[in-house]
Amino acid sequence: MPNSYNSFEDIDNQLKIISLQKQIYKQQIKLNLKSTKSSFSATSIKSEVKNTLQVKLLEYITTNLIKKFR
């Protein structure tokens, strides 16, 4: 359903709103991109790998201990 406008002023106002929305979306994309880049930093990846290895090692140790004491 298209908008109906009563004057050129209404059209101008709607165009300003659309322009502001576009700027907001662009800024949101920029922030999301920065956030994504920081989550892929070397420190972040290193930390994730370390945590994963710790969990896997703990799982391995506990399963072997359980098998040993059965």
Would you list the domain boundaries of the chain? 9-39, 41-70
Cβ–Cβ < 8 Å for 12, 20: no
Cβ–Cβ < 8 Å for 5, 11: yes
**Amino acid 69: pLDDT:** 83
| 3-state SS class at 41 | coil
**Amino acid 2: pLDDT:** 66
**Amino acid 33: pLDDT:** 92
- pTM listed for this prediction: 0.55
**Amino acid 51: pLDDT:** 92
**Amino acid 44: pLDDT:** 79
Cβ–Cβ < 8 Å for 3, 13: no
Could you list the mean pLDDT of each consecutive 10-residue stretch along the chain, which spans 70 residues?
Answer: 84 96 96 86 84 94 86
Q: Which residues contact 44 (CB under 8 A, 6 or more apart)?
A: 38
43: enclosing H helix or E strand = helix 42-68
